[in-house]
Amino acid sequence: MLKRGGLLEPSNFTILYVFSFFFGSVIGSFLNVCIYRLPREESIVFPPSNCTSCNNPIRFYDNIPIISYLFLRGKCRSCGERISPVYLIVEVLSGLISALLVWRFGFSLTTLFYFAFLSALVVITFIDLEHMIIPNVITFPGIGVGIIYAVLKTDWNTAHLLFGSSRFNLESILRILNEVPIIDSIFGIILGGGVLFLIGFLYEVIRKREGMGMGDVKLLAMIGAFLGWKGVIFVTFISSLIGTVVGISIILYKRGDLKYAIPYGPFLSLAAALYCYTGGFSFRF
* Chain residues that interact with Zn ion, rule: CB under 5 A: 51, 53-54, 76, 78-79, 81
Q: Residue 59 or 175: which CB sits closer to Zn ion? A: 59
Which of 75, 160 has the CB closer to Zn ion? 75
Question: Shortest distance, CB of residue 25 to Zn ion, whole angstroms?
Answer: 22
- 50: phi then psi, degrees, rounded to nearest 5: -140, 160
Least distance between Zn ion and beta carbon 56 (Å): 5
- Phi/psi class of residue 228: alpha, beta or left (left: φ > 0; alpha: ψ in -120 to 50)? left
51 vs 199 by CB, closer to Zn ion: 51
C-beta of 84: minimal distance to Zn ion in Å?
12
Q: Which residues of 221-243 are buried (b: 16+ CB within 10 A; e: fewer)?
A: bbbbbbbbbbbbbbbbebbbeeb
CB of 51 to Zn ion, least distance (A): 3
How far apart are CB 59 and Zn ion at their closest, in Å?
A: 12
* Phi–psi pair at 54, nearest 5 degrees: -105, -5
The residue among 15 and 79 lying less far from Zn ion, judged by its C-beta, is 79
CA distances from 67 to 27, 31, 53, 74 (A): 14, 17, 21, 10
Separation of first and last alpha carbons in the chain = 37
Which residue number, 57 or 106, has a Cβ lying nearer to Zn ion? 57
Smallest gap from Cβ 80 to Zn ion, in A, equals 7
Spell out a b/e string for 186-206, using b for 16 or more CB atoms within 10 Å of the CB, else e: bbbbebbbebbbebbeeeeee
Please give the biggest Cα pair distance in the chain: 74
> Of the two residues 9 and 81, which places its CB atom closer to Zn ion in the complex?
81
Shortest approach of Zn ion to residue 77 CB, angstroms?
7
- Measure Cα distances from 226 to 49, 154, 171, 277 in Å: 31, 13, 23, 13
- What distance in Å separates the CA atoms of residue 41 and residue 37, rounded to the nearest whole number? 6
- Which residue, 74, 99, 76, is CA-closest to 87? 74
Q: Where are the alpha helices (DSSP H) in 132-213?
A: 136-153, 156-165, 170-179, 181-207
Q: Judged by CB, which is closer to Zn ion: 84, or 110?
A: 84
